[in-house]
């Protein structure tokens, strides 16, 4: 599989990231110069204890959070210092996010949730013009993740595994190049978690989707190409996964 | 696009937002109802004030008036003829009216206004204020008006009034024949009261003793025969230039004593009626103390020898009752035939042969073709008349205080009611802060999906605007429906509470007057929406500034 990974410039990389959170009197140094890079088509898992800074690393990579020191590069270009508008655009087009708690919008039905990123992308008029295609696309993606029978359901009516698959469908509809997953199996039982992992691996293989996944579960982490260990805000070591 | 979708979705799923919609709706509806009713009252009141006042008034600065109405009308015609629709001379002088009801004398202060009915009807509405032109209610049945609207206003009595007059005169004769006269001379009223029917108003003896104390001798002389008893009252009116209080000899008795007197009056309804609450039904009933066909005594002041004021009294026959709906007029005015009033006040100037060569009037009422030319007309008239002789005003200036009081009232009410909508705005503010807190995680999700701060802000701004819009629309609908059905609603309320909310007899209105100004409705709705948007600005900014990561972690 490693032959699929192009050995040119990394698709995304973070260099010497430092990030300190200030809550009242406390200053928490979450990241202390950690770095990470991913080639196109690579599946990386970031593993570490709670508070090791792995989620923050993911947020910095996905431009949800800005680093205090360090830089984030996308295809070799710095993106963390772009304007807010440009960063919003990148989040909408390049990155797809999935979270531990799925984070679907409770007011929208499943299919609407999946369409939400495209709602954000399109203006009212262009949405209206393309509403059929967008809907078909959303249904197709839901079919891929095995949720075609749940289109009209509200998130509150779905199970955890279904919600996570819905969240993945939502992340995929924008055809992102990088999928950032924050503990995607953390809230699911082992079997459902394995289903989700299977789905992610399939996406990685079929679509050459670059996946960076944060987890604290060794068995889950081991299913990626490469495991990055974070400890106290620094990279402890990087290993190639035995399973691959 | 997501702004729209989420906005609509929040509107449909957040029931707490209903609270703000309802508060906006109630505020808007209240403002529309109150403004419509106040505008209705104001325009109705303006109509009524205006109705009697004509457009422009030229008024003498003293009660003796300005000489020669013809010359004044000529001056007016020369100065502003092209703007004028009609002009009519009037004489206004305060006086005292006395009538007898159930044997008791009722002197009341009045404003005597001498008019030419045809001219007065041209400068403003007169006909519809006269009771004989209005349908009446007798024992719950509506009777057609005694006169048709096409009939000109004259000083003639209606056949019904003539009938009443004949009947009363006849019953007076009977009374006089039954009672021995010497007893009547001292306290006739109290003696005859229990026996007399209510219509027995014009006991001439009462008037004779009251109006001319110390002329009992004349009454005594008149007591010789029934015709004599009537004599002291009737005779002066028939003899020109002879004031009433100089009693003439009974020999000049008229043949037909039921003929109406030469002085004729329309009396304001409020002067001669009172309201009684029916003990059984609790409804107000109007009791008329004087009816058309009866006589009243009028007393006023004229300038006598050496310019000293002298009282002058005369009798007049009531031709009609005047009901304009403005209590200020209905409780004050006695309209009288102009020439008779001028004669009694000594305002007619004659040459040596007794021909009238000129008359004085105290005011000229002018109706304009177009009221917007009023300022120009007044400017020209002020040049045409020597300053100091007359004052020239529009009807609005004359009743300025009353009108501006109503306007002030409307303005204050509007400020207060708008504060209610502002309170609704603060409600929106509070509810929105709550919704933003509740939606914090969703805001984080939207940001992670690529939504900008601007978009997040516009979700909440449009949400506020939508609340304002829905609230205003519902409020406008509710308000307009309320205004359209206000009388039915009032009746229902009266029925529920058991007491009349809006007493028609007090306000002189058949129904609650309303007037819906489309601009007012538009302004109220726009104001409510602006407030709703303003109230959502702060929560929307807060939502936009939320840090996505912190928002995502929020639980």
Following DSSP, what letter does each residue of B12-70 receive, concatenated?
A: HH-THHHHHHHHHHHHHHHHHHHHHHHHHHHHHHHHHHHHHH-SEEEEESSTT-EE-HH
Q: Does B549 touch chain A (CB under 8 A)?
A: yes
For residues B222 and B290, the model is more confident at B290
> Is the predicted pLDDT of residue B512 greater than 50, yes or no?
yes
Question: Measured between CA atoms, how close is A116 to chain B, in angstroms?
Answer: 7
Q: Is A97 on the interface with B (CB under 8 A)?
A: yes
- Measured between CA atoms, the residue of chain B closest to residue A23 is B550
Q: Which chain A positions have a beta carbon within 8 Å of B547's beta carbon?
A: 65
pLDDT at residue B175, as a whole number:
76
Let me know if residue A15 belongs to a domain.
Answer: no
Give the rounded distance of the alpha carbon of B236 from its chain centre.
36
Asked if the structure places residue A119 within a domain, the reply is: yes
Q: Which residue has the tokens 């040119």?
A: A8
Asked if residue B268 lies in contact with residue B296, where contact means CB atoms within 8 angstroms, the answer is no
Angle (CA) B236-B237-B239 rounded to 5° is 65
Retrieve residue A38's tokens: 């991913």
DSSP B153: P
Give the dihedral of Cα atoms B537, B542, B543, B547; nearest 10 deg. 160
Question: Which CATH number is A105's domain given?
Answer: 3.40.50.300
- What's the gap in Å between the CA of B450 and the closest CA on chain A? 4
Judged by a CB distance cut-off of 8 A, whether residue A79 touches chain B is: no
Highest mean pLDDT among B137-141, B208-212, B219-223, B291-295: B291-295
Report the C-alpha gap between B33 and B518 in whole angstroms: 13
Q: Which residue matches tokens 């030469």?
A: B262
ipTM for this prediction: 0.87
Give the pair of three-digit tokens for residue B371. Answer: 């009221």
User: Does A86 lie at the interface with B, CB-CB under 8 angstroms?
Assistant: no
Compute the distance between CA of residue B12 and CA of residue B14 in angstroms, rounded to an integer.
6
Q: What is the maximum span of chain A, computed from C-alpha positions, in angstroms?
A: 53
Pick B214 or B325 by higher pLDDT. Answer: B325
Q: Least CA distance to B12: which residue of chain A? A: A107
The verdict on a CB contact (< 8 Å) between A120 and B2 is: yes
Give the CA distances from residue A169 to residues A45, A137, A174, A213, in Å, rounded to whole numbers and listed in that order. Answer: 20, 10, 9, 16
Write the DSSP symbol of residue B372. Answer: G
| pLDDT at residue number B138 | 66
Stated pTM of the model = 0.67
Confidence class for position B189, pLDDT limits 50, 70, 90 = very low
The minimum CA-CA distance between B449 and chain A, rounded to whole Å, is 5
- What mean pLDDT comes out for the span B391-418? 84
Residue B388's region, left for phi above 0, alpha for psi from -120 to 50, else beta, is left
Q: Give B508's pLDDT tier (boundaries 50, 70, 90).
A: low
- Say whether A107 and B10 touch across the interface (CB within 8 A): yes
A226 in any annotated domain: yes
Which among A90, A107, A124 has CB closest to B1? A124
Identify whether the C-beta of residue B156 lies closer than 8 Å to the C-beta of residue B144.
no
Q: How confident is the model at residue B214 (pLDDT cuts 50, 70, 90)?
A: very low
pLDDT of residue B120: 81
Q: What is the reported pLDDT for B181?
A: 52
Say whether B1 and A127 touch across the interface (CB within 8 A).
yes
Q: Is the Cβ of B4 closer than 8 Å to some Cβ of chain A?
A: yes
Q: How confident is the model at residue B352 (pLDDT cuts 50, 70, 90)?
A: confident
Predicted confidence (pLDDT) per residue in B450-503, tens digit: 888 888 888 888 888 888 898 999 999 999 999 888 888 888 888 888 777 666
Nearest-5° angle of CA A123, CA A128, CA A129?
105
Q: Distance between CA B330 and CA A150 in Å, rounded?
A: 78
Residue-averaged pLDDT of chain B: 78
Q: Any CB–CB contact under 8 A between B11 and chain A? A: no
Domain extent, residue A181, equals 39-66+82-240
Judging by DSSP bridges, how do beta strands A43-48 and A210-215 pair with one another?
parallel
The answer to whether A43 contacts chain B (CB < 8 Å) is no
Number of Cβ within a 10 Å radius of residue B299: 18
Distances (CA, A) of A45 to A40, A187, A194, A201: 14, 17, 15, 12
**What's the angle, vertex CA B403, arms to CA B400 and CA B409, rounded to 5?**
135
The widest CA-to-CA distance across chain B, in whole angstroms, is 117
Q: Residue B207, exposed/middle/buried by CB under 10 A (0-12, 13-18, 19+)?
A: buried
Residue B232, token pair as written in the block: 């002291």
The predicted structure's pLDDT at residue B505: 59
User: What is the least distance, in Å, from the CA of A3 to any CA of chain B?
Assistant: 32
Place of tokens 């029916």: B278
Rounded Cα–Cα distance for residues B95 and B89 (Å): 19
Tokens 């006909």: give the residue: B127
Q: Please give the backbone phi and psi of residue B145, each rounded to the nearest 5 degrees, phi first.
A: -60, 150
- pLDDT of B555: 62
Contact flag A91-B447 (C-beta cutoff 8 Å): yes
Query: By three-state DSSP, how is residue B8 classified?
Result: helix
How would residue B206 be classed by pLDDT, with cut points 50, 70 and 90? very low
Interface of A with B in 106-145 (CB under 8 A): 106-108, 112, 116-117, 119-124, 127
Q: What does the angle CA B307 – CA B313 – CA B319 come to, to the nearest 5 degrees?
A: 130
Say if A18 falls within a structural domain: no
In a domain, residue A211? The reply is: yes
Mean pLDDT per block of 10 residues along chain A (244 residues) reads 57 85 82 85 86 84 86 85 86 87 85 85 83 86 83 85 86 87 84 86 87 86 85 79 54
pLDDT band for B251, please (50, 70, 90 cuts): very low
Neighbours of A23 (CB within 10 A): 7
With contacts defined as CB-CB under 8 Å, which chain A residues touch B442?
105-107
- CA–CA gap between residue B259 and residue B234 (Å, rounded): 10
Residue A97 lies in a domain: yes
- Of chain B residues 442-461, which have a CB less than 8 A from chain A? 442, 444-453, 455
Contact B315, B295 (CB under 8 A): yes
The reported pLDDT for the residue numbered B209 is: 43
Contacts of A108 in chain B (CB under 8 A): 5-6, 9
In a domain, A217, yes or no: yes
CA gap B318, B228 in Å, rounded = 23
In DSSP terms, which residues pair with B363 in a beta bridge? B59, B90
**Rounded Cα gap, residues B103 and B203, in angstroms:** 8
Q: Domain for residue A107, yes or no? A: yes
Which of A55, A91, A170, A175 is the best residue to mutate to test the B interface, defined by the most B CB atoms within 10 Å of its own CB? A91
Which of A59, A120, A127 lies nearest to residue B449, judging by beta carbons? A120
pLDDT confidence tier of residue B211, bands split at 50, 70 and 90: very low
Q: What is the distance between the alpha carbons of residues B187 and B502, in angstroms, rounded to a whole number?
A: 44
Question: Which of B441, B449, B453 lies closest to A92 in CB terms?
Answer: B449
Phi, psi of A14 (to 5 degrees): -120, 135
Chain B residues inside the 8 Å CB shell of A127:
1
Are B112 and B298 in contact, with CB atoms under 8 Å apart? yes
| Contacts with A122 from chain B: Cβ below 8 Å | 1
In chain B, the percentage of residues whose pLDDT exceeds 90 is 5
Residues of B within 8 A of A64 (CB-CB) are: 447-448, 548-549, 552
DSSP states of A184-198 as a string?
Answer: TTTTS-HHHHHHHHH
List, in sequence order, every residue forming a beta bridge with A19; answer none if it has no partner: A31
Instruction: Tell which of A20, A120, A128 to mutate to test the B interface (max B CBs under 10 Å).
Output: A120
Report which secondary-structure segment, H or E, holds B296.
Answer: strand B295-303
- Candidates A104, A116, A177: best to mutate against B (most CBs of B within 10 A) is A116
DSSP secondary structure string for all residues of A36-88:
EEE-TT-EEEEEE-TTSSHHHHHHHHTTSS--SEEEEEETTEE-TTS-HHHHH
Distance from CA of A73 to the nearest CA of B (A): 18
- What is the per-residue pLDDT for B225? 43
Whole-angstrom CA distances from B214 to B210, B243, B304 are 9, 17, 22
CB contact set of B90 (below 8 Å; sequence gap of 6+) = B113, B114, B115, B120, B338, B361, B362, B363, B364, B365
Per mean pLDDT, which range of B146-155, B484-493, B534-543 is the poorest? B146-155
In total, how many domains does chain A have? 1
């Amino acid at each position: 599989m490693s032959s699929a990974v192009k050995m040119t410039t990394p698709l995304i990389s973070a260099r010497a990231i430092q990030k300190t959170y200030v809550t009242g009197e406390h200053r928490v140094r979450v990241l202390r110069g950690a770095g990470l890079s991913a080639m196109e088509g690579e599946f990386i898992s970031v593993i570490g204890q709670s508070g090791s800074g792995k989620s923050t690393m993911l947020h910095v990579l996905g431009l949800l959070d800005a680093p205090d020191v360090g830089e984030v590069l996308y295809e070799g270009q710095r993106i963390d210092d772009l304007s807010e508008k440009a960063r919003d655009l990148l989040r909408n087009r390049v990155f797809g996010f999935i979270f531990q708690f799925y984070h679907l919008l409770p007011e929208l039905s499943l299919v609407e949730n999946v369409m939400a990123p495209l709602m954000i992308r399109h203006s009212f008029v262009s949405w209206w013009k393309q509403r059929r295609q967008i809907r078909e696309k959303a249904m197709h993606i839901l079919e891929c993740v095995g949720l075609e029978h749940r289109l009209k359901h509200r998130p509150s009516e779905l199970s955890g595994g279904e919600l996570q698959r819905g969240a993945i469908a939502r992340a995929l509809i924008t055809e992102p190049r990088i999928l950032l997953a924050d503990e995607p199996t953390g809230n699911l039982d082992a079997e459902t978690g394995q289903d989700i992992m299977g789905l992610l691996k399939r996406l990685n293989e079929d679509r050459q989707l670059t996946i960076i996944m944060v987890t604290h579960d060794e068995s889950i982490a081991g299913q990626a190409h490469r495991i990055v260990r974070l400890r106290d805000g620094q990279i402890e070591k990087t290993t190639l996964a035995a399973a691959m | 696009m997501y702004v729209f979708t989420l906005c609509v979705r929040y509107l449909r799923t957040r029931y707490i937002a209903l609270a703000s919609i309802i508060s906006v709706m109630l505020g808007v509806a209240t403002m529309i109802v109150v403004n419509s009713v106040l505008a209705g009252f104001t325009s109705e009141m303006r109509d009524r004030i205006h109705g009697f006042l004509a457009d422009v008034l030229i008024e003498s600065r003293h009660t003796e008036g300005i000489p020669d109405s013809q010359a004044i009308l000529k001056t007016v015609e020369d100065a502003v003829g092209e703007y004028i629709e009609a002009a009519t001379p009037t004489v206004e002088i305060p006086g005292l009216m006395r009538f007898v009801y159930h044997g008791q004398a009722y002197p009341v202060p009045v404003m005597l206004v001498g008019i030419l009915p045809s001219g007065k009807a041209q400068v403003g509405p007169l006909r519809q204020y006269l009771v004989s032109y209005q349908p009446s209610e007798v024992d719950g049945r509506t009777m057609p008006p005694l006169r048709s609207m096409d009939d000109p206003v004259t000083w003639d009595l209606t056949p019904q009034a003539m009938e009443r007059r004949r009947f009363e005169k006849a019953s007076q004769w009977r009374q006089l024949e039954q009672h021995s006269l010497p007893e009547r001379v001292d306290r006739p009223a109290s003696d005859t009261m229990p026996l007399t029917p209510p219509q027995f108003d014009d006991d001439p003896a009462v008037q004779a003793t009251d109006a001319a104390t110390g002329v009992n001798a004349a009454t005594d002389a008149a007591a010789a025969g029934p015709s004599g008893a009537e004599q002291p009252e009737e005779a002066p009116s028939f003899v020109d230039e002879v004031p009433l209080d100089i009693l003439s000899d009974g020999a000049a008795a008229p043949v037909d004593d039921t003929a109406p007197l030469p002085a004729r009056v329309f009396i304001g309804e409020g002067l001669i009626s009172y309201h009684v609450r029916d003990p059984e039904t609790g409804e107000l009933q109007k009791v008329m103390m004087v009816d058309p066909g009866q006589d009243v005594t009028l007393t006023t002041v004229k300038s006598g020898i050496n310019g000293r004021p002298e009282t002058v009294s005369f009798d007049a026959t009531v031709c009609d009752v005047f009901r304009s709906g403005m209590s200020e007029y209905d409780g004050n005015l006695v309209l009288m035939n102009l020439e008779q009033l001028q004669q009694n006040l000594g305002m007619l100037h004659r040459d040596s042969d007794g021909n009238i060569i000129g008359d004085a009037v105290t005011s000229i009422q002018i109706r304009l073709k177009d009221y917007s030319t009023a300022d120009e007309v007044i400017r020209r008239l002020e040049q045409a008349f020597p300053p100091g002789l007359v004052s020239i005003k529009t009807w609005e200036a004359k009743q300025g205080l009353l009108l501006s009081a109503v306007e002030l009232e409307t303005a204050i009410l509007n400020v207060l009611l708008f504060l209610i909508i502002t309170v609704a705005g603060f409600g929106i503010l509070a509810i929105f802060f709550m919704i933003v807190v509740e939606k914090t995680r969703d805001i984080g999700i939207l940001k992670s999906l690529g939504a900008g701060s601007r978009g997040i802000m516009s979700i909440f701004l449009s949400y506020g605007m939508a609340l304002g819009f829905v609230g205003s629309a519902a409020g406008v609908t509710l308000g307009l429906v309320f205004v359209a059905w206000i009388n039915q609603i009032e009746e229902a309320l009266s029925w529920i509470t058991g007491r009349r909310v809006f007493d028609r007899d007090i306000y002189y209105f058949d129904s609650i007057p309303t007037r819906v100004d489309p601009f007012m409705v538009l302004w109220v709705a726009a104001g409510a929406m602006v407030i709703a948007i303003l109230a959502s600005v702060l929560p929307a900014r807060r939502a936009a500034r939320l840090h996505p990561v912190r928002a995502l972690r929020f639980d």
